[in-house]
Amino acid sequence: MNLSITNLFKVKEIREKLLITLGLLLVYRIGFYIPLPGVDHVEMFKNIGNLGGVGRLFGMMNVLTGGSLKSATLFSLGVMPYISASIIFSLLTKAVPALEAIAKEGASGQRKINQYTRLATVGICLVQSWFVIFGALGADTKLLHAGVREWFGIYCIVVMVALTAGTMFIMWLGEQITERGVGNGVSLIIMAGIISNLGPALGSYFEFGLNREAWQSLLFFVGAWGVAVVAVVYMTKAQRRIPIQQAKHTRGRRVYGGQRHFLPFKVNQAGVMPIIFGSALLVIPTMIGQALGWNWLADTFASHRGFWFVTGFTALIFFFSFFWTSMMFQPSEIAKNLQEGGSFIPGIRPGKPTAEYLEGTMVRITLAGAAFLSLVAVFPSLIGTGGGGQMDQMLIYFMSGTSILIVVGVALDMVEKLNAMLVMRNYEGFLDESGDGNQGGGSAGAGWGRR
């Protein structure tokens, strides 16, 4: 595929959108250089490495925040509270009839759901900021200066308000990127947070010189990452297209309808959500083992290469893949809409048989998608050295399911939007052969923001 990058800068509107997007992302990154007052950052980084299960929880949350909880900066929470609120209301709109009715009201209903999501984000920010204060900073860890510890109650309130304000400002930046820039703002913010750590991580390979071992490790990482990206791109764009035949209608001497369409189902319908839920639950056994002194339980789930960790992670990914798909995919509703629109699947009777056919198809697709997510999730740990060194940490962070699915998904979504803008202006497109990429809709990372 021939890149036509120069076409992006020939159109004034696209050029301005790109510059606005880059400028707002730069403002977002500046917030991570504004530290919280009263924190001894040197001691904090030493303490985080000894938190065990909590440290792993922080590592997972760092990926999702688009920032870093460990840095103790103004934007430490990132967009994690908004992501949590969006997930909650995505589930509630399918489970609560009142919210489902509001969501079906069109644009006005979506605005109401977005407003509820923002209000819920404030509450979640306050809870998570408390977690940062007592989980990462806590009075017992001696990470705060002596003067701050004397006024710890007031300090907690100030920090909670500051972290909440930081998250709300990031939300505003994301909305401005979505409205005035290119792509989904929240998704781009998450991707920017992940990519921002790539440079320092690669630089750590050469801390002790450009020796042969450093180059071999770097080349191995780049090769493994490239293979993973190709596989994720392939599975992210993979679809099962079900043929839809529109019934013919005769009005006077004219015949309407009869066209043949396709109903696209993504193979990875659940996106990154099963990995997120599975990672969160696997932290619990380690934390319980450390709290109760059961070292055998903590050690069993502490190793990413252990049998029980890999088995449990895989089982949780399969479970949440089917759970999330069943919540978001309603075959009976799709069958009803097809019947009301005068469309049908060739060889399948309308109504209940169509719903059963769609459900069976989605079960098989979800099985393949869950197997793919499981492989992506455990692949970095299995090919690592097992020593817990720098190589393992880089593989787990940049090639884990959450990181690579978000980065690749958001990148594909942005390329499709740029290609659509160029095609509308009679250009050949950003990617010459990406015309079919718009049929699936959405992407793994783009599902974070409310549409």
Exposure string for 384-420, b = 16+ CB within 10 A, e = fewer: beeeeebbbebbbbbbbbbbbbbbbbbbbbbbbbbbe
The pLDDT-based confidence of 402 (bands split at 50, 70, 90) is confident
- Decide: helix, strand or coil at residue 431: strand
Rounded to two decimals, the pTM is 0.76
Q: How far is CA 440 from the centre of its chain?
A: 18
pLDDT value at 341 more than 70? yes
How does DSSP assign 210-222, residue by residue?
Answer: S-HHHHHHHHHHH
In degrees, to the nearest 5, what angle opens at C-alpha 163 toward C-alphas 157 and 165?
A: 100
What per-residue confidence (pLDDT) applies to 322?
A: 92
Per the model's pLDDT, the better-predicted residue between 97 and 152 turns out to be 97
Say how many Å lie between the first and final Cα of the chain, rounded.
30
Show Cβ contacts of residue 392 under 8 Å, excluding neighbours closer than 6 positions: 304, 380, 381, 384, 385, 386
Residue 2 has φ and ψ, to the nearest 5°, of -90, 125
What per-residue confidence (pLDDT) applies to 148?
A: 67
CATH number of 1-26+208-451: 1.10.3370.10
Residue 275 has φ and ψ, to the nearest 5°, of -70, -40
Going by C-alpha positions, the residue among 139, 135, 130, 126 that lies closest to residue 54 is: 135
- Decide: helix, strand or coil at residue 242: strand
Per the model's pLDDT, the better-predicted residue between 356 and 208 turns out to be 356
**Residue 110 CA: distances (Å) to CA of 90, 185, 248, 443:** 11, 17, 34, 20
In degrees, to the nearest 5, what angle opens at C-alpha 239 toward C-alphas 234 and 242?
A: 160
CA gap 152, 218 in Å, rounded:
45
Going by C-alpha positions, the residue among 135, 261, 232, 293 that lies closest to residue 443 is: 232
Residue 408 has φ and ψ, to the nearest 5°, of -65, -45
- Least confident among 29-33, 58-62, 150-154, 333-337: 58-62
The pLDDT-based confidence of 435 (bands split at 50, 70, 90) is very low
CA gap 7, 15 in Å, rounded:
10
Q: Where exactly are the structural domains of the chain?
A: 1-26+208-451, 34-181
How does DSSP assign 99-120, residue by residue?
Answer: HHHHHTTTHHHHHHHHHHHHHH
Amino acid at 34: I
For the stretch 109-123, pLDDT in tens is: 888 888 899 999 999
The residues with which 254 forms a beta bridge, in sequence order, are 251
What per-residue confidence (pLDDT) applies to 76?
A: 80
CA gap 227, 233 in Å, rounded:
10
Percentage above 90 pLDDT, the chain: 10
Per the model's pLDDT, the better-predicted residue between 430 and 22 turns out to be 22
- Least confident among 35-49, 205-219, 295-309, 332-346: 35-49
What per-residue confidence (pLDDT) applies to 205?
A: 61
CA gap 248, 259 in Å, rounded:
8
Instruction: Tally Cβ neighbours within 10 Å of residue 181.
Output: 24
pLDDT value at 345 more than 70? yes
Instruction: Tally Cβ neighbours within 10 Å of residue 218.
Output: 16
Instruction: Tally Cβ neighbours within 10 Å of residue 132.
Output: 21
